[in-house]
Chain A
Amino acid sequence: MFEGHEHFLSFGSTDQETLRVLEGCYNGLLVPGTVAALQREGTGGFLLALSAAQARTAYVIDPRSPLFQQPLPAVKASFGVLASIFRYPEAATPGVIPSPSDFTDERVTAMAEGWLAFNEGYLSDSGSKFEKYAMRLNQNVRPDDARGPSAMLSPYMVAVSDDWWQVSLRLHEATLAAKPKLKAAPVVAVDDPAALATRASDLADRDIAVWVSGLDELDSTADSLLHYAQSLAAIATSGKRTFALYGGFVAVTLLGRGLDGFSHGIGYGDHRTWIELPSSGAPGPRYYIPEAHRYASREMAQRLFTIDPSLVVCGCAACGGRPPLTIEYHELMQHSVLCRAAEVAAMRTANLADVADDLDGYHERFADVIAGSPVNGTVVGKRLLELGEHLPIWSEVLRGI
């Protein structure tokens, strides 16, 4: 089921240009259930057109059901539409504290059936704007070639307790009981990387999606990342295949070493944290520093470029090695995807010890260059050094795998 799902991108409606231009540089799209539900015509038209185009881009819809596992501070329109798809409209009520006992057998069955109907009807019900998006692809794209989701993720909850994990298991069982035509995979969502393998061992499925809430690779300890890697390796040893809903460079290094595929946002979004908080929107466009394998503000990247261009420069088709502050928004986004795609390709044959050596070598050079620069010791110098603090932790993790 997760074959050919190695490198997915998280869909956002502002990313359509990047997704069109880079068609073929990634395997598919992970679409938030909230977006798929609310923007059914626009998002649906785009996804169906892309699925019919030359690269036959796959897509999978993330149910985002943990939204209804938390008290909602406010209810966005998308929450209401998603709750209706789950046939549980009262779930989108602000201030209510959900409990596992709310998820009775009847409710679980209704949620699973509602979600199944949404997924299986997506191809036929979401194509009214197909022509509009097909034209933008500048290819001969036919509606008959459009495809539905390549797989279905069962509704799930974050296993913050045994009771919530039981709700998750029942949601998946109810999905399977509804006899989906699509292949349905369970999602093992946990808040502790060490718990991943234990929860996964409760499942008989061969393919599972995984999400460790709050696992920010840049801000994690080596122990957390090692637990994550070890959990994935243990799951793989048991004969299962895994797809991570979120991941950054560390996830890339785990491809073929316990992880079979992963998804990440464009420009940001290598991790996600449950509980869902009211957000002030996406961060401003940032520059992906290829050798640090992380984003930095354009100003910080420009500062590095000014000090020593070799620290940040990239030869991808989108940025062409230009100074970070001169790269426009969509070029920055394309640059980030091309860098990640290059990482995925390189990691297929890379030796992790060599990758760890590269990280250490870059970090040493990075620190030396900043120490010898005019900004050393200033607030800017300190911020620049912070951009490399994850590197020794990651190299330690890679050597420990």
Chain B
Amino acid sequence: MKSLRYREEAELAAPLLRYLQQRRRVTGSSLIAEQVSLHGKWIDLVTLTSTRILTAYELKLNHVSRVLEQAAANTFSVDRSYLVTASRPRENALEHAELLGVGILWVSDDKISELVRAPRHRPIPQVRARLVAEIRRVGVLVNDV
């Protein structure tokens, strides 16, 4: 099978959502929002489950280290923080992600492998609450996507 080439980050969102649904990381009643603003920066994708698990996903085709910093910053605001990439990161990037508490999902041929599982964080309550309010304002139900 010919390998799928992704041209822009947004194309990673569809396989990501399928994966999250298959793995029951989100359900139809979860909220999802793209490009959520927080502290003057944008988080590519945020989900909030009915059990109140708030997860951030930063999407990046390649050059993982550049977005690892942002994904690490998200750990102050969400319960889990992931970096989703179309190019397999090097071993040291995986080690760094583990140290920074960031999970890594690798998208290849529309399939996703979880290379690093994101740990559950203890975000700053006020900051998390602000983000929850924002996703409730701009998010849509996964069922409606």
Most buried by A among B77, B124, B127: B124
Q: B126 near A326 (CB under 8 angstroms)?
A: yes
| Interface SS of chain B | helix
Q: A374 near B69 (CB under 8 angstroms)?
A: no
Binds B, one of A3-11, A157-165, A193-201, A378-386: A378-386
Q: Given A323-B124, A325-B127 in contact, is the A377-B96 Cβ separation under 8 Å?
A: yes
Q: How many angstroms from the CA of A306 to the CA of B126 in the assembled complex?
A: 16
Q: How many angstroms from the CA of A302 to the CA of B43 in the assembled complex?
A: 17
Give every chain B residue within 8 A of A390 (Cβ-Cβ): none
Q: A299 near B76 (CB under 8 angstroms)?
A: yes
Q: B127 near A326 (CB under 8 angstroms)?
A: yes
Q: Which residue of A lies closest to B101 (CB)?
A: A374
Give every chain B residue within 8 A of A326 (Cβ-Cβ): 124, 126-127
Most buried by B among A285, A300, A325, A374: A325
Whether, in the assembled complex, B1 has its beta carbon less than 8 Å from a beta carbon of chain A, the answer is: no
Q: Which residue of B lies closest to A323 (CB)?
A: B124
Give every chain A residue within 8 A of B27 (Cβ-Cβ): none
Most buried by A among B39, B68, B126: B39
Shortest Cβ distance from A238 into chain B, in angstroms? 45
Q: A375 near B40 (CB under 8 angstroms)?
A: no
Whether, in the assembled complex, A147 has its beta carbon less than 8 Å from a beta carbon of chain B, the answer is: no
Q: Which residue of B lies closest to A327 (CB)?
A: B126
Q: Given A284-B40, A325-B124 in contact, is the A375-B100 Cβ separation under 8 Å?
A: yes
Q: A284 near B124 (CB under 8 angstroms)?
A: no
Q: Which residue of A lies closest to B41 (CB)?
A: A284
- For chain A residues 341-389, which have a beta carbon within 8 Å of chain B? 374-375, 377-380, 383
* Per-position 1/0 for A169-183, Cβ under 8 A of B: 000000000000000
Give every chain A residue within 8 A of B126 (Cβ-Cβ): 326
Q: A302 near B76 (CB under 8 angstroms)?
A: yes
Most buried by A among B40, B65, B127: B40
Q: A379 near B68 (CB under 8 angstroms)?
A: yes
Q: Which residue of A lies closest to B125 (CB)?
A: A326
Whether, in the assembled complex, B53 has its beta carbon less than 8 Å from a beta carbon of chain A, the answer is: no
Q: B96 near A378 (CB under 8 angstroms)?
A: yes
Give every chain B residue within 8 A of A299 (Cβ-Cβ): 39, 41, 73, 76
Q: A378 near B100 (CB under 8 angstroms)?
A: yes
Give every chain A residue within 8 A of B96 (Cβ-Cβ): 377-379
Q: Given A323-B124, A325-B127 in contact, is the A380-B40 Cβ separation under 8 Å?
A: no
Q: Which residue of A lies closest to B93 (CB)?
A: A379
Interface size range of chain A in the complex: 20 to 34
Whether, in the assembled complex, B99 has its beta carbon less than 8 Å from a beta carbon of chain A, the answer is: yes
Q: B124 near A379 (CB under 8 angstroms)?
A: no
Give every chain B residue within 8 A of A377 (Cβ-Cβ): 96, 99
Q: Given A379-B69, A383-B69 in contact, is the A374-B76 Cβ separation under 8 Å?
A: no
Q: Given A325-B127, A326-B127, A378-B100 in contact, is the A285-B40 Cβ separation under 8 Å?
A: yes
Give every chain A residue within 8 A of B100 (Cβ-Cβ): 374-375, 378, 380
Whether, in the assembled complex, A298 has its beta carbon less than 8 Å from a beta carbon of chain B, the answer is: yes
Give every chain A residue within 8 A of B116 (Cβ-Cβ): none
Q: How many angstroms from the CA of A378 to the CA of B66 in the assembled complex?
A: 11
Shortest Cβ distance from A325 into chain B, in angstroms? 5
- For chain A residues 250-300, which have a beta carbon within 8 Å of chain B? 283-285, 297-300
Whether, in the assembled complex, B72 has its beta carbon less than 8 Å from a beta carbon of chain A, the answer is: yes
Q: Given A284-B40, A375-B100 in contact, is the A325-B68 Cβ separation under 8 Å?
A: no
Q: Given A325-B127, A326-B124, A375-B100 in contact, is the A298-B39 Cβ separation under 8 Å?
A: yes
Give every chain B residue within 8 A of A378 (Cβ-Cβ): 68, 72, 96, 99-100
Question: Contact partner of A284 among B39, B65, B73, CB < 8 A?
Answer: B39
Q: A325 near B76 (CB under 8 angstroms)?
A: yes
Give every chain A residue within 8 A of B40 (Cβ-Cβ): 283-285
Q: How many angstroms from the CA of A374 to the CA of B96 in the assembled complex?
A: 9
Q: A285 near B39 (CB under 8 angstroms)?
A: yes
Most buried by B among A298, A374, A375, A378: A378
Q: How many angstroms from the CA of A283 to the CA of B96 in the assembled complex?
A: 28
Q: A380 near B127 (CB under 8 angstroms)?
A: no
Q: How many angstroms from the CA of A284 to the CA of B127 in the assembled complex?
A: 16
Q: How many angstroms from the CA of A306 to the CA of B127 in the assembled complex?
A: 15
Query: 8 A-B contacts, Cβ less than 8 Å apart?
Result: A283-B40, A299-B73, A303-B76, A326-B124, A326-B127, A375-B72, A378-B96, A378-B99
B→A interface (CB under 8 Å):
39-41, 65-66, 68-69, 72-73, 76-77, 96, 99-100, 124, 126-127
A→B interface (CB under 8 Å):
283-285, 297-300, 302-303, 306, 323, 325-326, 374-375, 377-380, 383
Give me the 8 closest cross-chain CB pairs, A-B, nearest first.
A284-B40, A299-B73, A378-B96, A379-B65, A326-B126, A380-B72, A379-B69, A325-B127
- Extra contacts besides A303-B72, A323-B124, A379-B72 (18): CB < 8 Å: A284-B39, A285-B39, A285-B40, A297-B73, A299-B41, A302-B73, A325-B76, A325-B77, A325-B124, A326-B126, A374-B99, A374-B100, A375-B72, A375-B99, A377-B99, A379-B68, A379-B96, A380-B72
